[in-house]
Structure 1
């Protein structure tokens, strides 16, 4: 099946990559802290979502765009600034929305999306590898804003993710509207160990299916 894809420059915000047709809705998708939308994980995730009827609107934060221009790494700015940037992208793609517009992202991008949803509301959230805490710092939880989430929220997480394993997350008191989909043996990029008998592509396909099904249920009112 050929995949619909279009890239263009959105006003003063920067490049926007649109992939897939919105049979089950649209997902405004942010990247993680250290890699942009050209990361293999992000490319494979967008392709898998397109195959399942989810149109992704993929953007990069300004610091990542500067990294490309300068050819050197730089840390992301404070999360509050990223939330404002994400809000600007959300507002900027409104004219492309043909129905529910879910927010989401990988790791840091998902955290920023959740902070924006807690602040302004959202049609839904798809969080891929949510950073519940920094690695090896399980006491530093990033959940203070979660009681304010009032939209359908899906977390797709590897069971071995150092930012929040299945055993750790089981101890958290999460809001009733949060659904967890665990990818067996996956780590932060959803890579399983060879001994599991599966590979990253299979886990990305499973994660994309979970996202598409959650968005389809929400669109039909069946949740």
Structure 2
């Protein structure tokens, strides 16, 4: 991340203040905005590797800390409240004074990936990066969230653990919308440290396919 500028912006939302953790190269090729999962964890391995790889490839990367986490709560709000906070944060980042450049790639891990899919059209996102997409709750394959995945823009990329209890790559394959590429990485829903090399490889491949 040599030469990249790092800063934290606090942005007002209807759900309270959110924090945008921005890492921006001098001449950014575009912007990737990522959300965290329902358990918080801004330092989740897949988020950290995505930030590292994409910044090194010249993209501005923002990890958004949802208001519930900023407020110190331990439980995420309901999906509509997450969307209500996410949209104004992304809009503030890519419009107005000091805006980050397009193309705009939205995404995140787990619950953050769901938020990105549901709001991609409203934000006019150019693409999506979905990490550990939770197709269904563990042990409940009948409670599908395929309708949310179907909202992902074209193109999109899903980076999924081979043993993800929220939906394996094999399960996801049947529901991938047009223009979505699935990359399988050894690991579960929360990737262990040993998955780092495979994540670096997968996200380097994604970086090479992002819209110019």
Could you say which TM-score interval applies, normalised by the shorter chain? Answer: 0.7 to 0.9
* 1:204/1:150 CA distance change after superposition, 3 Å: closer
For 2:64, the equivalent position in structure 1 comes to: 59
For 2:130, the equivalent position in structure 1 comes to: 127
Aligned residue pairs, count: 204
Deviation at 1:158, TM superposition (A): 1.4
Q: 2:197 aligns with which of 184, 187, 202?
A: 202
* 1:10/1:142 CA distance change after superposition, 3 Å: same
Q: For 1:67-78, what aligned pairs fall within 5 Å after superposition?
A: 67=72, 73-78=73-78
Matched, 1:175 2:177: yes
Deviation at 1:99, TM superposition (A): 2.1
In 2, the alpha carbon distance for the partners of 1:49 and 1:89 equals 20
Matched, 1:15 2:16: no
CA contact (8 A) 1:10 1:92 kept: no
In 1, the alpha carbon distance for the partners of 2:184 and 2:45 equals 21
SS in 2 for 1:18: strand
Matched, 1:156 2:151: no
For 2:83, the equivalent position in structure 1 comes to: 83
* 1:23/1:211 CA distance change after superposition, 3 Å: farther
* 1:11/1:78 CA distance change after superposition, 3 Å: closer
CA contact (8 A) 2:46 2:131 kept: no
CA contact (8 A) 1:52 1:208 kept: no
Q: 4+ residue runs of structure 1 moved beyond 6 angstroms?
A: none
Q: Deviations over 1:175-223 (max 9, x none)?
A: 212111111x22213338xxxxxx22202212321331221xx21xxxx
In 2, the alpha carbon distance for the partners of 1:169 and 1:99 equals 29
Q: TM-score, normalised by structure 1?
A: 0.81
In 2, the alpha carbon distance for the partners of 1:76 and 1:159 equals 26
For structure 2, the 5+ residue unaligned runs are none
For 2:111, the equivalent position in structure 1 comes to: 108
* 1:91/1:46 CA distance change after superposition, 3 Å: same
CA contact (8 A) 2:146 2:175 kept: no
* 1:10/1:151 CA distance change after superposition, 3 Å: farther
CA contact (8 A) 2:21 2:63 kept: yes
For 2:140, the equivalent position in structure 1 comes to: 137
In 2, the alpha carbon distance for the partners of 1:145 and 1:176 equals 14
Alignment RMSD:
2.2
